[in-house]
């Protein structure tokens, strides 16, 4: 599944500029370049580059595909889930009010978004970037060791006031309050719910279930589980809001009289004129990215990635077998959703090895080839191997380096 655009290069293209390619066993992480692009996605990218099309027409077509795939009224291809969050926020804040569109991120109108405090995270900068002010509610008293409860829906209701513009929800299987309760509270007050579901696909059902639960806008990464371009994403949801998001992202350098945006995306009849470039103009998406993302979405939903799971499991089993006898305890973890990739957890016997997992991780990064393992459980003495970028050759190199660093 490793990408091959034309002929396999004899030498890494990155070395031309003095950058050493790595073996990424951290997964689809942005910092290391995202997901491996399937050949069909690369081919689509190259084909799209051969011709020109009006981008608003292409986004109109993308909207139809995304709507069909997600059950949402409309959709937009963005330059990532973070961009989708900024655009979704901008849409909620400004709607089709051209003065507001021009003013963002400076708001002299309601701009507060309520968010469960326990859902705050670094990516919500993308929401604040549009001009929103986050209002935190609730406590995670279980984590604090101070109680038995987490954020509850009534706390969101209690925080709603004249300055409230919407509610933010960061989706996770274990997120609290349950999305349905948050939607009920928000809709009771006629407020939209913007959901960050960037990394929540797979499982496939999330493409539909989050919209079905009543979310008004959902942001999904294109460069994670969908295996589209690293800098792509999806914003889907209510048609009026998607239309506003499109208006604030697309290039607006045309004459109003000549401008013919696709009516399924932008309702021109509601507009008194053509807005200037909006806040999302800095997050533009290329025709190649749009076509590649749509191709990846189609592959993903048709189940084309599924045979790859057995292959990934075999690569991991090879690693397990090769580490037999070393001071490490190996366990392949198969996610319960039956769709996400298996991972391999390597618990390092730090006292027997005489080296911490953190140190092993550092040495793997500095070796040849450099290897980047999952680093989320280092404090528990564990390295995590995510197999999505592995092939036979890389697994051989990985095994060799792990054996070196995990031998006394
Ligand atoms: C990855 C991620 C994002 C950002 O997604 P991009 O597609 O990289 O912009 C936002 N929120 C969460 C929770 C994420 O995991």
Same domain, yes or no: 229 and 328 = no
State the Cα angle at 194 between 122 and 124, rounded to 5°.
10
Same domain, yes or no: 260 and 346 = no
Same domain, yes or no: 290 and 326 = no
Interval 80-100 mean pLDDT: 98
Domain that holds residue 187: 39-302
Same domain, yes or no: 153 and 172 = yes
Same domain, yes or no: 284 and 138 = yes
Same domain, yes or no: 184 and 248 = yes
Which residues surround ligand 1 with Cβ inside 6 Å? 30, 80-82, 123, 170, 196, 198-199, 221, 223, 233
For residue 221, the ligand 1 atom closest to its alpha carbon is 7
For residue 83, the ligand 1 atom closest to its alpha carbon is 9
Distance 402 CA to ligand 1 centre (A): 30
Domain boundary among 302, 329, 364: 302
Q: How many domains does the chain contain in total?
A: 2
Same domain, yes or no: 64 and 140 = yes
Same domain, yes or no: 144 and 247 = yes
Tell me how far apart the alpha carbons of residues 143 and 140 are, in angstroms, rounded to a whole number: 6
Instruction: Answer yes or no: is pLDDT of 406 > 70.
Output: yes
Q: What is the pLDDT of residues 147-197, one digit of tens each?
A: 999 999 999 999 999 999 999 999 999 999 999 999 999 999 999 999 999
Residue 298 CB-density burial (10 A; 0-12 exposed, 13-18 middle, 19+ buried):
middle
CATH number, position 272: 3.40.640.10
Quick count: other Cβ atoms within 10 Å of Cβ 286? 18
Q: What is the pLDDT of residues 325-364, one digit of tens each?
A: 999 999 999 999 889 999 999 999 999 999 999 999 999 9
Domain boundary among 302, 332, 351: 302
What's the pTM value of the predicted model, to 2 decimals? Answer: 0.96
Domain boundary among 302, 322, 349: 302
Same domain, yes or no: 158 and 264 = yes
Confidence of residue 10 (pLDDT cuts 50, 70, 90): low
Same domain, yes or no: 295 and 311 = no
Residue 253 CB-density burial (10 A; 0-12 exposed, 13-18 middle, 19+ buried):
exposed
Of 96, 91, 97, nearest in space to 78 by CA: 91
CATH number, position 321: 3.90.1150.110
Same domain, yes or no: 28 and 62 = no
Q: What is the pLDDT of residues 364-391, one digit of tens each?
A: 999 999 999 999 999 999 999 999 999 9
């Amino acid at each position: 599944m490793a990408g091959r655009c034309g002929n396999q290069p004899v030498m890494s293209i990155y070395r031309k500029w003095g950058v050493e390619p790595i073996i990424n066993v951290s997964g689809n992480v942005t910092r290391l370049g995202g997901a491996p692009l399937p050949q069909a996605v690369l081919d689509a990218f190259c084909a799209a580059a051969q011709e020109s099309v009006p981008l608003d027409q292409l986004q109109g077509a993308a909207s139809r595909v995304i709507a069909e795939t997600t059950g949402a009224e409309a959709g937009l291809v963005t330059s990532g889930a973070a961009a989708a969050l900024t655009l979704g926020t901008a849409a909620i804040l400004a709607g089709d009010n051209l003065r507001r569109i021009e003013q963002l991120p400076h708001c002299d109108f309601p701009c507060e978004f309520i968010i469960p405090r326990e859902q705050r995270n670094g990516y919500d900068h993308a929401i604040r970037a549009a001009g929103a002010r986050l209002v935190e509610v609730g406590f995670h008293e279980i984590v604090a060791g101070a109680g038995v409860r987490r954020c509850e829906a009534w706390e969101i209701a209690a925080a709603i006031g004249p300055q409230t513009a919407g509610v933010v929800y960061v989706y996770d299987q274990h997120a609290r309050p349950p999305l349905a309760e948050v939607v009920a509270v928000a809709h009771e007050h006629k407020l939209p719910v913007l959901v960050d579901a960037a990394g929540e696909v797979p499982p496939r059902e999330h493409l539909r279930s989050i919209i079905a639960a009543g979310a008004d806008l959902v942001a999904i990464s294109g460069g994670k589980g969908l295996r589209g371009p690293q800098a792509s994403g999806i914003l889907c949801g209510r048609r009026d809001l998607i239309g506003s998001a499109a208006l604030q992202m697309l290039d607006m350098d045309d004459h109003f009289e000549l401008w013919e945006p696709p009516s399924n995306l932008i309702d021109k009849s509601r507009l008194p004129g053509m807005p200037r470039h909006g806040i999302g103009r800095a997050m533009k998406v290329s025709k190649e990215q749009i076509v590649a993302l749509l191709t990846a979405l189609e592959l993903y939903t048709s189940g084309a990635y599924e045979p790859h799971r057995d292959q990934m499991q075999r690569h991991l089993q090879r690693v397990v077998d090769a580490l037999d006898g070393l001071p490490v305890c190996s366990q392949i973890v198969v996610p319960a959703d039956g769709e996400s990739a298996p991972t391999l957890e390597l618990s390092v016997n730090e006292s027997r090895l005489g080296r911490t997992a953190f140190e092993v991780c550092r040495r793997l990064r500095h070796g040849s080839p450099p290897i980047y393992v999952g680093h989320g459980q280092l404090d528990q003495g564990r390295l995590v191997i995510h197999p999505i970028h592995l092939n036979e050759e890389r697994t051989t190199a990985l095994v060799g380096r792990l054996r070196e660093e995990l031998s006394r």
